[in-house]
Amino acid sequence: MDSNLIHLKFKERFGGSAGSLYAAPGRINLIGEHTDYNDGFVFPGAVSQSIVAEVRPNGTRWVRAYAMDLQHYCEFDIDSEEGPESVCFRYIYGVVRLMMANGVQVEGFDTVYGGDVPMGAGMSSSAALESCFGTALNDLFHGNLEPMQLALIGQATEHQFVGVKCGIMDQFISMYGRAGSLVRLDCRSGEYAYFPWHPQEYQLVLVNSCVKHVLVGSPYNDRRNSCERVTQMLGIETLRDCSWEMLEGVKERLSPEDYRRARFVVGEVERVMRVSDALERDDYEAVGEQMYLTHEGLSRDYEVSCAEVDFLVAEARRLGVTGARIMGAGFGGCTLNLVRNDRYEAFVTEVQKTFAAQFGVECKIIPVVIGDGARKIK
């Protein structure tokens, strides 16, 4: 996102002196879907697309916020127990309230924000928004919160103020991203390791189906509830602790739906570790095959895909793409594709043509550049 556009709109909207500029990225996740809230492993990377905000304290107890992409304006009292009704501003309100609860002396501020993280595409625009404002308020109001604390505040905002019971992956990578590296995160211990990502013969590209997913009030929470019912029956903390033998032992006592969802998660935890091993030996063909297996599970067992996304993955396999899968929580959004350089142009051209012929709309191609995490823009 061009920070100059944000600044011009800020000057037009609020006048006076300039505020400070902050940015936080969206993300891709190579593998490890729906494992974060099951205490498993994930493999995300921050991307160059980001949310950018200009923020200036205003000496009051009120926030005046303008969402540039949506062309929405809102004012709210930071001491209010209710906050704004509009979801796009409840993310900011939640971050403000939780930072205050963590001892940061937040005051009112004016802000304009926008970005090029596509909303509803599975690239975690909401986590980018939370991380951007967490970083800004921590800096402007002299907080001493560590990046992981800010990530947890973003996650808690989703839980308490928006109604999405997400895991920690999206907020973590938006805070901890590093250009040229993916991160393997243990969602139980918080331990993480950077893996260099610069394959010479391959590149990542997103294909946006333009089917927007909506997690608030969606079946996303139903999937998490399925996992929790299985763990309660097994007497374990999360599905991270579930073996194949344990799952098969209670299969007859589970609903078919809960069994399939647990089967996906147990398999996905294993696939993340296979990808870790493959990356250490630069075996990108093995990485790609695990991506296809993940999509098969997400579509068949976890049931979070859709016809448009399944078509894109099938086309990727037909066109010789090394790996492809739905990315994000599901219910629409993007596919992530690992493509050999010599097949890239043909894939992009053909998949756009066949998708338009099948569905009557154009899919969008989004090149992936692995970028840095949340930061102040100098």
- How many CA atoms are closer than 13 Å to the CA of 268, on its beta-carbon side? 32
At a CB cut-off of 8 Å and minimum separation 6, what does 153 contact?
95, 98, 99, 102, 130, 134, 145
103: tokens are 């001892």
Please say whether the beta carbons of 183 and 45 come within 8 A: yes
- What pLDDT was estimated at residue 215? 52
Choosing from 170, 258, 310, 372, the catalytic residue is 170
Residues in the chain, overall count: 378
Span 310-368, pLDDT tens digits = 999 999 999 999 999 998 777 788 999 999 999 999 999 999 999 999 999 999 999 99
- How many CA atoms are closer than 13 Å to the CA of 351, on its beta-carbon side? 32
Structural domains of the chain in order of their starting residue, each with its CATH number: 3-194+372-377 (3.30.230.10), 198-367 (3.30.70.890)
Span 133-177, pLDDT tens digits = 999 999 999 999 999 999 999 999 999 999 888 889 999 999 999
Residue 170 among the catalytic residues: yes
Span 210-266, pLDDT tens digits = 887 555 556 778 898 999 999 999 999 999 999 999 999 999 999 999 999 999 999
Instruction: Indicate if the pLDDT at residue 1 is higher than 70.
Output: no
At a CB cut-off of 8 Å and minimum separation 6, what does 97 contact?
78, 83, 161
